[in-house]
Amino acid sequence: MDSPRLIIGVMLMALLTGGATVSAQVVAQDAARTFTISPGDRFTEKSGEALYNASCAGCHMPDGSGAQGAGHYPALADNPALEAAPYVIVNVLHGRKGMPSFGDAMDDDQVAAVVNYTRTHFGNRFAESVTPGQVGSLR
């Protein structure tokens, strides 16, 4: 996706989620800072936190609180459904309802990193770490 289309998409999301007071310049700066796709349409971020901010926070919110508006984006904070690691992995890989799939944009290490981050932040304390091998087996 080229930069003008990305900026327009981020601005549209801001309008739909009630953030219409955000200036276009701030949205453009934030989009450039948090969303990095390589030429092969793959995320370049490696850490779970960076991947969450680039791929999840726009809908599920930076604090994992979820959102309601043009759609329903469930809260990830204090969410007991995240205890089932395969459930989270499959959702990231293949999407669910209105959530897009990220399996083609992230490798197994990246999916494991973002799943582990989500399962250990926002009030979630699920100690069992997901491995890239588990991700690969669910692709």
**Model confidence at 36: pLDDT above 60:** no
> What are the residue ranges of helices labelled H in 39-84?
48-55, 57-60
For the ranges 7-11, 17-21, 131-135, the maximum mean pLDDT occurs at 131-135
97-120 average pLDDT score: 96
Per-domain boundaries in the chain:
36-138
- Residue 113 CA to residue 47 CA, distance in Å, equals 6
Reference 13, options 76, 100, 121, 120; nearest CA is: 100
Identify the pLDDT of residue 50.
97
Q: What would the two tokens of residue 93 be?
A: 């890989």
Identify the pLDDT of residue 127.
87
Q: Which amino acid is at 17?
A: T
Q: Determine if residue 124 is left, alpha or beta; phi over 0 gives left, psi from -120 to 50 gives alpha, anything else beta.
A: beta
Identify the pLDDT of residue 27.
44
Q: Is residue 138 within 8 Å of 93, Cβ to Cβ?
A: yes
The 10s digit of each residue's pLDDT in 43-96 is 999 999 999 999 999 999 999 999 988 889 999 999 999 999 999 999 999 999
**Model confidence at 118: pLDDT above 70:** yes
Pick the CATH number of 36-138 from 1.10.760.10, 3.30.70.260, 3.40.50.150, 1.25.40.20: 1.10.760.10
